Amino acid sequence: MELNNLTFLITGGAGFIGSNFIHYLLRKYSQIKVINLDKLTYAGNLENLKSVKDDPRYRFVKGDIRDAKLVDKIMEKVDVVVHFAAETHVDRSIMEPAAFVTTNVVGTQVLLAAALRHKIKRFHHISTDEVFGSLPLNPKLRFNEKTPLRPNSPYSASKAGADLLVRAYFKTYGLPVTVTNTSNNYGPYQFPEKLIPLAITNLLEGKKVPVYGRGINVRDWLWVEDHCRGIELVLQKGKVGETYCLGGPEDMINNLEVVKRILRIMGKDEESIELVKDRPGHDLRYAIDSTKAEKELGYQPEVHLDEGLERTVEWYKENRDWWQKIKSGKYKSYYERQYGKK
Ligand code: NAD
Ligand code: DAU
């Protein structure tokens, strides 16, 4: 599919990956139109899109994906939906799961129904590797498109529910869908409740970095712009009805090692690590096998973790205003509830 001259509905475009994707599209496609539908929950931030707010190709609509009337109205002019909007933080889903079900499951169904009614050209659903559950610490084992769904947290269960609805709209109604299941993203504009920006901003504030349990859990880290390119490739070359798994370049680095690399970049010692209570039901390891996307789409993540961490540290150093506003607001009470201190 040629992406220029199309109108995109980006849901959740004021969040971390959605805003990176909007910047990516507007940089690459001169004739594109982008509508960003976002409720602006605690995780949505229009500051992420300050530089494009007056771009004639871009329009922001503040609204909820669960609002069927609004969604139906917006969908009238849309060619392609890229659906990022979700409640996304595992720890918050453990504290208060209800919004995860209504936004991630019901909200997705509202979008699918409107997309079907308006006969859009493509509905691309952004999902996660967390729907596959957890792997042992064996580098030979990875998730792929055939791995059964075995989610373990309210967040991942709600994302799995959404994935299955997307599949059902393809099988039952023929809605032209594609899905990507992606590993842990990091980079600019990530809300500082997630491990990497939390670590960097805590260190910039002279605080310790809380590491759950013994820090042995492993994630598959993906530079956010590599993810954006992967989505673009699926839209351009992906087959309707198919799922593609998109992972990062390395996948055996545990949380303690990630934090130690950040400490080295920032010139801090290991005294800044604090081992804290583990996350309930904490998945041990995620790792993605991207072979299908590599072979069929030419997908290849380019940015290795060390380089990506350097760039991310630099971004948070240069954008103190952005994260200091977040950390001094409502986020403070979440932090105290989660970690038990200021
Ligand atoms: P985020 O939390 O930074 O952003 C989510 C955005 O969705 C926010 O702007 C928020 O305001 C908006 N939103 C939430 N509920 C809404 C609703 N009811 N209606 C409209 N907007 C709503 O999330 P992110 O990290 O950018 O993740 C984006 C998508 O990618 C999610 O679907 C997530 O499951 C998926 N994903 C994330 C990662 C990751 O590492 N961050 C990895 C794989 C997949
Ligand atoms: O795998 C993709 C998923 O990655 C996305 O679907 C989710 O939306 C996204 O939030 C992320 O989930 P994780 O739970 O893996 O990310 P988080 O940054 O919260 O945690 C990464 C790892 O670090 C995990 O093993 C828990 C651990 N951790 C996290 C925090 C916040 C800590 O050790 N200390 C912390 O303070």
Dihedral (CA of 28, 226, 1, 25) sign: negative
Assess whether 130 carries a catalytic annotation. yes
Ordered by where they begin, the domains of the chain are 7-186+222-246 (3.40.50.720)
State the distance from the centre of ligand 2 to the C-alpha of 31, rounded, in angstroms.
Answer: 36
Structure tokens at 65: 């994906």
Spatial separation of the C-alpha atoms in residues 65 and 59, rounded to whole Å: 16
**331-339 helix and 320-328 helix, angle to the nearest 10 degrees:** 70
DSSP string, 192-215: TTSHHHHHHHHHHTTPPEEEETTS
In the structure encoding, which two tokens stand for residue 112, read together?
């699918």
| Residues at CB less than 6 angstroms from ligand 1 | 11-12, 14-18, 38-41, 43-44, 64-66, 84-88, 103, 107, 126, 128, 159, 182, 184-185, 191
User: What's the CA gap between 109 and 243, in Å, rounded?
Assistant: 18
pLDDT value, residue 224: 98
Verify whether residue 169 is a known catalytic residue. Answer: no
Task: Dig out the tokens for 122 from the structure.
Answer: 């493509």
Query: Separation of 341 CA from ligand 2 center, angstroms?
Result: 20
pLDDT for the residue numbered 342: 55
- Which ligand sits nearest to residue 106's alpha carbon? 1
Q: Give, for all 342 residues of the chain, the pLDDT tens digit.
A: 999 999 999 999 999 999 999 999 999 999 999 999 999 999 999 999 999 999 999 999 999 999 999 999 999 999 999 999 999 999 999 999 999 999 999 999 999 999 999 999 999 999 999 999 999 999 999 999 999 999 999 999 999 999 999 999 999 999 999 999 999 999 999 999 999 999 999 999 999 999 999 999 999 999 999 999 999 999 999 999 999 999 999 989 999 999 999 999 999 999 999 999 999 999 999 999 999 999 999 999 999 999 999 999 999 999 999 999 999 877 888 888 889 865
Candidates 64, 130, 220, 251; catalytic one: 130
Centre of ligand 2 from the C-alpha of residue 121, in Å: 33
Find the 183 Cα to ligand 1 centroid distance in Å.
Answer: 14
* 155 CA → ligand 1 middle, Å: 11
Q: According to the model, what pLDDT value does residue 265 have?
A: 98
Backbone dihedral angles phi then psi of residue 314, each to the nearest 5 degrees: -60, -45
Ligand closest to the CA atom of residue 159:
1
DSSP string, 258-319: HHHHHHHHTT--GGGEEEEPPPTT---B--B--HHHHHHH-------HHHHHHHHHHHHHHT
Instruction: Spot the catalytic one: 155, 186, 189, 335.
Output: 155
Among this protein's residues, is 307 annotated catalytic?
Answer: no
DSSP state, residue 154:
H
In angstroms, the Cα distances linking 282 to 115, 137, 285, 339 are 35, 14, 9, 16
Length of the chain: 342
pLDDT of residue 329: 79
Taking 3-state DSSP, the helix, strand and coil percentages for the chain, each rounded to the nearest 5, stand at 45, 15, 40
Q: Write the residue with the smallest CA distance to atom 10 of ligand 1.
A: 44
Q: Which residues line ligand 2 (CB under 6 A)?
A: 88-90, 128-130, 183-184, 194-195, 198, 210-212, 217, 219, 255, 279, 286
